[in-house]
Structure 1
Amino acid sequence: MKTQVAIIGAGPAGLMLGHLLRRAGVACVVVERRSREYVEGRIRAGVLERTTTDILDRLEINQRMHGEGLPHDGFYLADGERLIHIDVARLTGKQVMVYGQTELTKDLIAAAPGRDLEIIWEAGDVALHDVESDAPSVTFLRDGVQQRLQARVIAGCDGFHGPSRKAIPGSRRREYERLYPFGWLGILAEVPPCNDELIYANHERGFALASMRSNTRSRYYIQVPIDEPLEAWPDDRLWDELALRLGPEAAARLTRGPSLEKSIAPLRSYVFEPMRHGNLFLAGDAAHIVPPTGAKGLNLAASDVAYLSDALIGWFTRDDEEGLRHYASRALARVWKAERFSWSLTRLMHRFPDEGAFERRMQLAELDYIASSTAAQTAIAENYVGLPL
């Protein structure tokens, strides 16, 4: 098999990249180790920056997003007693869109045949070869038979645990990581949201988040120790804790219901450099992870894809190598700014086990300052809605 771009991973990054390349007439094939049913069933975040929605608009894969998604003008920070509104629309002139990553992925997959985007599902033992050469390739097992996909370029969009990053030699690797001593216990329930916009809450017992997937389906999280057993949190206990941490105003509107899904996710900040090695280019979680506090994971993948698709289209259609030369530096400049925002918001809104009364009062003082400062709110709004490409 031969193509121009071999894309490893059929998550949002790989699928958006594939659609953008095919739209410009660049040949590509997506290789995914999981089944279509597994990929479409993954529960993920759902706050989309303008960068992400603009890509979907450009691809005309936006009908369900605009029909079922929830445009939000802002969000709230809570300190246990009050809600502090960050009016993103007024401060930046932009909105974010609440639309589940699961639904976005389904839309991209459903549109693939119409754009002649080939996706190879359930590809086992994926391995990258000769990435420093002009003829890299990908091997994988399909129906028990080894296949080889030859390409000019490989795009590693296969997430944190995929093989793409591992194909870069140790002598070239630089890894930056911060592991957090807590996780997010999340519950998905078929109940209306307690608020019209997201609430990020800082309570003396720990962080909480009120979010939604639609007007009838809600997603809530609380901070728990990283080694907390899931069975220690039956639904009733979790709803009680959410009501406490979100504060009295949100608690009065909280609707309880049985969990459709419940899990504990660890938090980490991670950046891998370089994002290019030879003719291998990394994008999305293959190169960086952010805590979910700032809603940047999917959106950073989208900005990587915006840079990488422009670079590859320029090279294949105009023989212009400028974009490829600068892809890694451009992407990483935005990655580090998003990492800074996610890290700072995580520090502000969570309780750390090694911190005491002084640090708690500093958090409350910072929230009090934000509540009274247009400048502080503007800085938060600019980062939340997404910095310019």
Structure 2
Amino acid sequence: MSFAASEAVKYLIDEHDAKSAAIESLKTSVFEWVSAVVGLKNKELPAFIFIDELDRCRPSYAVEMLETIKHIFDIDGVVFVVATDTEQLQHAVKAVYGEGFDAKIYLGRFFNSRYSLKAPNLENFLEVHSDASKLSGDYLRDLKIEVLPFNEDAKATLRNISVILDAFKVSARTAIQIADRVVATISNMPRGSKIDILMLTALLCIKEKDHNLFDEIVSGKFERVVQSGDSKKTIYLNDFLETYIPESSHMRHIEMNFDPQEYAPNFKIYSHQNAVANPYTSGIYRFYLLEYLQEIFSSHFGSAGKNRSGIFFLGEGRRSPTQEQTPLEKLCKTLTEEYKKHQYDTDAQMLGVPALLWVKFLYIRNKFESIDMDEYKDFVELASPLDWMGKDELPEVD
């Protein structure tokens, strides 16, 4: 037994010495390779090795990688830059060493310096990572696809998408995925189709964050009953979204560059009266994100409670045989009244309530309200775009 123990210890020592010699040999080889590159390419040390997304690796692999870098690749002239989500990496460490292990101190042993990068500006970020050309006016006209809100400049549409993504607080990675899915959906739609890009983007965000909430919305069954004192209160989607997205996003602008004269050169306010000239001019119309979500998005999915803005919800007031005005006539009347309030302020004519009224006008006139909830569900789940491939195109529309 004594002889066996002695031989085992000798073997372990030899193994350790062999590993140490191999590590030193590897370090020397890497240093010589780096030095050769410096000499041949006229570069200067240090050489940087970048390791990205270590937090997304298997926990045991991530820990082994860190320990290998620390103990083996500690080489003069070589700097390792590890890009990672530190919080997630701490979870990986705890998965290996136990929940009570102090992962923060453990990770501190590996890094000489730490730098935190700010969250990217989504608008600029998406311009780099998304195919914005398929959102341009020329591309959409070629496909005869109508979108709302329409902007000739694809960057303006991408900016609107980024406002939605930012409001729903999706990660940068998810933002790219959602933007790509919006583009893919549009590019695979049949000629003559139409879609509200804001509605599609918002639904994609909601599905990523809360699948159950998404199902409630697209089924038209969203409703919450909460206790309020001694009574119960019903919370509809328009009120829920006010608290669901951060207050800092409520007054973010969505923009639409269009010419009202193209769609309504004259206003017909009452069927028995003569039309009056449309006073609105061409330009960039801006409406608030929260008002859009409350009065168009929520209304479209059948969950809009009390109207607090003073302008009616989408589809509200459909005319019966005994009513005097159609929804479009009612909108024309309200637009006329809004114009009179701001007739000496061009900017005010294109901001807030008037701009949202024009969106509602386009919804009704161009039949965007005809896109039902099931269609939007298909859009989001990418069922319809795949099913369309190879089918006959829809008939062209004027």
Q: TM-score, normalised by structure 2?
A: 0.22
Higher strand share: 1
Higher helix share: 2
Looking at both structures, which has the greater relative contact order when contacts are Cα pairs under 8 Å and sequence separation is at least 6? 1
Greater Cα radius of gyration, structure 1 or 2: 2
